Amino acid sequence: MSASLGGFVKSVRNIMRQDPGVNGDAQRIEQLAWMLFLKVYDAKEQDWEIDEDDYVSIIPEACQWRNWAHDDFSGNAMTGDKLLDFVNITLFPTLKKLPVNPSTPIKKAIVQTVFTDANNYMKDGVLLRQLINLIDDIDFTDYEESHAFGEIYESILKELQSAGSAGEFYTPRAVTDFMAQMVAPKIGEEVADYACGTGGFLISWLKQLQPQIKTTEDREAYARSIYGIEKKQFPYMLCITNLLLNDIEMPKVYHDNSLTRKVLDYTDKDRADVILMNPPYGGSEKADIQSNFPKDLASSETADLFMAVIMYRLKETGRAAVILPDGFLFGNDNAKYSLKKKLINEFNLHTVIRMPGSVFAPYTSITTNILFFDKSQPTKSTWFYRLDMPEGYKHFSKTKPMKLEHFAPAMEWWSNRVEIADANEGSFKAKEFTAKELAELGYNLDQCGYPKEKKEILSPEDTMRNFVERRAELDKLMDDKLAKIKALMEELD
Amino acid sequence: MKICDELRQAVLQAAIQGKLTRQHKEDGDARDLLKQIEEEKAQLIKEKKIKNDKSLLPVSEEELLEIPDTWACVRVGKAFNLQAGKNINSSEISQIYTEGSYPCFGGNGLRGYVKKYNTEGHFPIIGRQGALCGNINLAYGKFYATEHAVVVTVFAGINSNFVALFMEALNFNQYATATAQPGLSVAKIDTVVFPLPPLAEQQRIVAKVDKLMAEIDELEKVENELIALKEAFPGDMKAALLQAAMQGKLTTQRKEDGNAKELLKQITEEKARLVKEGKLKKEKPLAEIGEDEIPFDIPENWEWVRLSQIVYNNGQAKPEDKFCYIDIGSIDNKNQRLASENNVIEASKAPSRARKIVKFGDILYSTVRPYLHNMCIIDREFPLTPIASTGFAVLSCFEGILNSYLFRCLMSPSFDDYANDNENSKGVAYPAINDEKLYKALIPLPPLAEQERIVAKLDKLLPLVDGLVEAQLMYDSLKETLQTGFGKTILAALITALGKAIYDSFSAWCVVVYLVVVILIYWRLRIYDKRRTEKQFNQNLNDYLNMMK
């Protein structure tokens, strides 16, 4: 299905557009989400029925996807008003009122959770049938396809034109896989993603961990090894569904906002062995969120706040890999400066991988970096490595996305670190900086960057956002410095 | 003016008024320091080592500066000894330092290096010739001072750095003669009144100013970046809009537009017909468009085409009669428009480059230095046959291709990348794109209806960028005014003046007027509140964003 993903999303939209009941993209997404969920859950249940002799579905037989939605083209499948009545009068009330209590396993309770807030907006039973058939055709049985979840979400988001402003970018699988591989998961460890979206990092982690399973204890540890938080309902639902597909029957993924807790309140039980994240950049949060952070780390940039959360939620023995935009590397406002200072002085920031600009194409052309750090000791030195565009590529795109093999040079270099100078004098592709050098540079981590011969053309939205953000940063910096000068002038001696 | 420059001036001003430091009793009185200076000078005058300062009048009541009680006011000539250097032949001055040579100071600081020296020590030096006269430098060790460099000798243990600092703050340049070659005489500088703090305080002032200047230097880095950011924004924004337009991101793709494939088919058929009729030359078959040539993704109903697929060439002709010549000078490359004046030339005087046949609606694209965007659409008629220079590519669009769409395409960043790429622009000294490369360029082709929508949208959005810039400028100037406190100063002065008037006259009318004016001023200030301007600017941006959706 991956190949025709764009086509799938398009067909879905075309069908729903004709329906008088669905208004706007938000409702379209909601409609799609619960249908996808039921389809996946049904596929999962078929597995569980085989694995567990006494498996009993929480969903009454009549409401199981295979029994009402699947069309065997014998002409018996419900359609038109009959189908519509079934969904509205039988299916929804039943699923919303499923008997759930604290002892119900998560994998069963999830059905009720998902349906609590779900609605059927469609009013045309024939169109509903068309949509059901389209979804029923998807085969969610392999990794490729399940990862396509994120892509579905992204495609829809893009249609909504909100991808940019909400700052939620689907992290390409090549990148999540690379990061998971580099942090080298071990059985018994727990990974956390405090803005997990559709669960891309969690899936990549599981994929790395799976070959290590040897015993039943290992399998249990594997199933317990993920922790996620997602703020938005739709990606949250997709994430749960995604994890179910990957045999995590009790996914510890919560529908919550990671920024609403005071970071100083975190104790050891809140901390993770490994954190893999691509925090949202430029997302919007209420101003009072900042009061949950120490004053020097408070910022209006969500990426900064998440970085602070990561630092407070990493175990003493923990490791982390985080994707951050270039702005974090060179930014010198108070919060970024303090975060980077803390990162160098209290954490071991051992590697920064600079990624090419179009990794997130076509959703945004913002350039990003992967920061690898752990808490073993203060930073002695940091290696910077610039990952260049693979040969023959000018940029990545929808049809030519980044692949894991494009990280091969970085992986090779990872285990055999050497300084690599550019052909042009003075710049480097890879270089080691001591903590002292970085401190002297004012914690400017913008090292080994791309030679800036050609100016990157961003989208108008990104251009404006960058401008407004950078201007606000500089204005703030100006104000701070002016205040400092004023104080200095007033302190007479 | 930059905030940093204003701040530097303000800091110097505050320094000479004693406002940067606290006055301590134990520092003593500067008048004692003055006495010491007088004694030292008297001895040296007696020994004829320095000039006599008897002719300088004491500082009068009116000339007294606003200074702390422990400071003294003294004429420069009384406090120091000013002595201009000696003329030196410019041929003796070398720009390069060599072993055994000495720095040579002239009217604008260091002039170069010479083989001899006439002064030794640590001195402030005042440049006294040229537009920058009154500039202060510091010289150490052995050096040569020319007749335009005034060497300042200090006494009684006063620090030269302090003297240089205060002399800079006193801005001697204001006393320069208003002649074509401004200059300052030593006699003139001698009479300037100098505020003299006690020795210990001098040290504190220097330390304080150093600290502040270092901070202001830091501030300047930020300010420069901010200025650069703002300057770059309109250009960046225009480029971003053009690029987004070429990717179909400014418009929605509509089913009823059909697709560009059909359009291309029509054009190809039309072309074949024209070739058959002998109206067009047959072209060599084009190379397939390779996957790696495609610079970005385009909507599904668009097509990537080579420029030569959608335009044709009018050919060349030697002018046989008087004609209107169009060369690069005929183009206003700021607005990409054709100039309104006609450059009429006799056939006999026609330049050898005047060869290209031009029709109404054609696009002229200068193939020399493509990044300069010397391009236009022929949008008017000419009184005589127009002929263009061979420095242009003349592009006539086939039906179904909007010339204004193609025109925007040729201006877009990705086309610029292609046209200005070294591989495509031959010769570094004279970068140009040859015809073959130009006609091979890839153009993203939407259906005709969408071409129209794109042009309409860009016509609406691009001028708005200039509107944004205006709002930005207003915002900046107001913010600056408020930051520097200039606005507040004026306000305070007005209120004080009015208050005084009331105090003097004590009439009821005055009180009313006073109150009204105060209220009005505060009301104005509120309107000019920086947050409001900021909000307005952000509102502009939002309007902008909405329009693009």
- According to the model, what pLDDT value does residue A156 have? 58
CA B328/CA B245 separation, integer angstroms? 27
pLDDT band of residue A137 (cuts 50, 70, 90) is confident
Count of A-B CB contacts under 8 Å: 94
CA B405/CA B458 separation, integer angstroms? 10
Set of chain B residues whose Cβ sits within 8 Å of the Cβ of A470: 229
Instruction: State whether A474 and B225 contact (CB < 8 Å).
Output: yes
Instruction: State whether B212 and A397 contact (CB < 8 Å).
Output: no
In angstroms, what separates the C-alpha of A17 from chain B's closest C-alpha? 14
Q: What is the mean pLDDT of residues A387-392?
A: 86
Set of chain B residues whose Cβ sits within 8 Å of the Cβ of A395: 295-296
DSSP secondary structure code for residue A86 in this structure: I
Q: What is the mean pLDDT of residues B346-371?
A: 91
Q: What is the mean pLDDT of residues A221-226?
A: 92
Type of residue numbered A23 = N
Instruction: State whether A488 and B212 contact (CB < 8 Å).
Output: yes
Token digits for A73? 């083209």
In A, minimum Cα distance to B240 occurs at A460
- According to the model, what pLDDT value does residue A2 have? 42
Sheet holding B102-106, edge to edge: B109-114, B102-106, B142-145, B119-120
Closest partner residue to A464 among B218, B291, B541, by Cβ?
B541
Instruction: State whether B292 and A461 contact (CB < 8 Å).
Output: no
- According to the model, what pLDDT value does residue A381 have? 94
Instruction: State whether A397 and B21 contact (CB < 8 Å).
Output: no
CA A183/CA A277 separation, integer angstroms? 12
Instruction: State whether A493 and B204 contact (CB < 8 Å).
Output: yes
Which residue out of A478, A479, A480, A491 would a mutagenesis test of the B interface target, given it has the greatest number of B Cβ atoms within 10 Å? A478
Asked if the model's pLDDT at residue A480 lies above 80, the reply is: yes
In angstroms, what separates the C-alpha of B136 from chain A's closest C-alpha? 24
Instruction: State whether B212 and A489 contact (CB < 8 Å).
Output: yes
CA distances to A147, A178, A391, A415 from A406, rounded to whole Å, are 19, 10, 9, 16
In A, minimum Cα distance to B21 occurs at A492
Angle at B98 between CA B96 and CA B104, to 5 degrees: 65
In angstroms, what separates the C-alpha of B477 from chain A's closest C-alpha? 14
- According to the model, what pLDDT value does residue A153 have? 56
Set of chain B residues whose Cβ sits within 8 Å of the Cβ of A467: 229, 233, 236-237
Angle at A36 between CA A32 and CA A37, to 5 degrees: 120
Token digits for A258? 């990671």
Closest partner residue to A485 among B7, B223, B243, by Cβ?
B7
In A, minimum Cα distance to B215 occurs at A485
Token digits for A238? 């997709």
CA distances to A134, B143, B164, B205 from B127, rounded to whole Å, are 85, 15, 12, 24
In angstroms, what separates the C-alpha of B150 from chain A's closest C-alpha? 32
Instruction: State whether A468 and B538 contact (CB < 8 Å).
Output: yes
Q: What is the mean pLDDT of residues B368-374?
A: 86
Asked if the model's pLDDT at residue B501 lies above 80, the reply is: no
Output the CA torsion sign for A404, A409, A412, A413. negative
pLDDT, tens digit (0-9, with 9 covering 90-100), for B387-421: 999 989 999 999 999 999 999 999 999 898 888 87
Closest partner residue to A460 among B237, B295, B417, by Cβ?
B237
Token digits for B547? 């329009």
Instruction: State whether A492 and B239 contact (CB < 8 Å).
Output: no
Instruction: State whether A463 and B240 contact (CB < 8 Å).
Output: yes
The strand pair at A253-255 and A226-230 is best described as parallel
In A, minimum Cα distance to B236 occurs at A463
The strand pair at A420-421 and B123-127 is best described as unpaired
Neighbours of B484 (CB within 10 A): 16
CA A321/CA A277 separation, integer angstroms? 7
Instruction: State whether A488 and B230 contact (CB < 8 Å).
Output: no
Instruction: State whether B212 and A459 contact (CB < 8 Å).
Output: no
Asked if the model's pLDDT at residue B481 lies above 50, the reply is: no
Helix A233-245, helix A143-160: angle, nearest 10: 170
A73 versus B134: the higher-pLDDT residue is: B134
Q: What is the mean pLDDT of residues B351-361?
A: 92
In angstroms, what separates the C-alpha of A150 from chain B's closest C-alpha? 20
Q: What is the mean pLDDT of residues A166-191?
A: 85
pLDDT band of residue B74 (cuts 50, 70, 90) is very high
Q: What is the mean pLDDT of residues A91-117?
A: 85
Closest partner residue to A399 among B241, B297, B549, by Cβ?
B297
In B, minimum Cα distance to A7 occurs at B300
In angstroms, what separates the C-alpha of A413 from chain B's closest C-alpha? 27
Kindly state the percentage of chain B with pLDDT values over 70: 83
- According to the model, what pLDDT value does residue B144 have? 94
- According to the model, what pLDDT value does residue A3 have? 46
pLDDT band of residue A114 (cuts 50, 70, 90) is confident
Least confident of B158-167, B335-344, B480-489: B480-489
CA B532/CA A385 separation, integer angstroms? 44
Set of chain B residues whose Cβ sits within 8 Å of the Cβ of A392: 292
Q: What is the mean pLDDT of residues A85-109?
A: 88
Set of chain A residues whose Cβ sits within 8 Å of the Cβ of B243: 457, 459
- According to the model, what pLDDT value does residue A205 have? 94
Q: What is the mean pLDDT of residues B80-94?
A: 91
B509 versus A119: the higher-pLDDT residue is: A119
Instruction: State whether B244 and A467 contact (CB < 8 Å).
Output: no
Closest partner residue to A478 among B22, B222, B414, by Cβ?
B222
Asked if the model's pLDDT at residue B511 lies above 70, the reply is: no
Kindly state the percentage of chain A with pLDDT values over 70: 90
DSSP secondary structure code for residue A395 in this structure: S
- For all residues of chain A together, what is the average pLDDT? 85
CA A33/CA B58 separation, integer angstroms? 92
Instruction: State whether A460 and B22 contact (CB < 8 Å).
Output: no
In angstroms, what separates the C-alpha of B460 from chain A's closest C-alpha? 14
Instruction: State whether A467 and B229 contact (CB < 8 Å).
Output: yes
In B, minimum Cα distance to A6 occurs at B300
In angstroms, what separates the C-alpha of A189 from chain B's closest C-alpha? 41
Residue B282: what are its φ and ψ, rounded to 5°?
-75, 140
- According to the model, what pLDDT value does residue A11 have? 82
Instruction: State whether A460 and B215 contact (CB < 8 Å).
Output: no
Three-class DSSP labels, A302-360: HHHHHHHHHHHCEEEEEEEEEEEEHHHHHCCCHHHHHHHHHHHHHCEEEEEEECCHHHH
In angstroms, what separates the C-alpha of B174 from chain A's closest C-alpha? 27
In B, minimum Cα distance to A401 occurs at B297
In angstroms, what separates the C-alpha of A489 from chain B's closest C-alpha? 6
Token digits for B271? 């072309």
CB B141 within 8 A of CB B113: no
In A, minimum Cα distance to B214 occurs at A485
Instruction: State whether A460 and B549 contact (CB < 8 Å).
Output: no
Instruction: State whether A474 and B237 contact (CB < 8 Å).
Output: no
pLDDT band of residue B504 (cuts 50, 70, 90) is low
Q: What is the mean pLDDT of residues B200-227?
A: 92
CB B284 within 8 A of CB B436: no
In A, minimum Cα distance to B476 occurs at A475
- According to the model, what pLDDT value does residue A284 have? 72
Q: What is the mean pLDDT of residues B175-188?
A: 88
Instruction: State whether B222 and A477 contact (CB < 8 Å).
Output: yes
- For all residues of chain B together, what is the average pLDDT? 85
In B, minimum Cα distance to A465 occurs at B541
ipTM for the whole predicted complex goes beyond 0.90: no
CB A447 within 8 A of CB A151: no
- According to the model, what pLDDT value does residue A29 have? 75
Closest partner residue to B215 among A397, A467, A481, by Cβ?
A481
Instruction: State whether A464 and B544 contact (CB < 8 Å).
Output: yes
Q: Which of A240-249, B468-477, B479-488 has the highest mean pLDDT?
A: A240-249
Set of chain B residues whose Cβ sits within 8 Å of the Cβ of A462: 240
Q: Report the candidate in B242, B300, B266 with the shortest Cα–Cα distance to residue B401.
A: B266
pLDDT band of residue A371 (cuts 50, 70, 90) is very high
Asked if the model's pLDDT at residue B283 lies above 90, the reply is: no
pLDDT, tens digit (0-9, with 9 covering 90-100), for B240-281: 999 999 999 888 888 899 999 999 999 999 988 988 888 888
Neighbours of B257 (CB within 10 A): 20
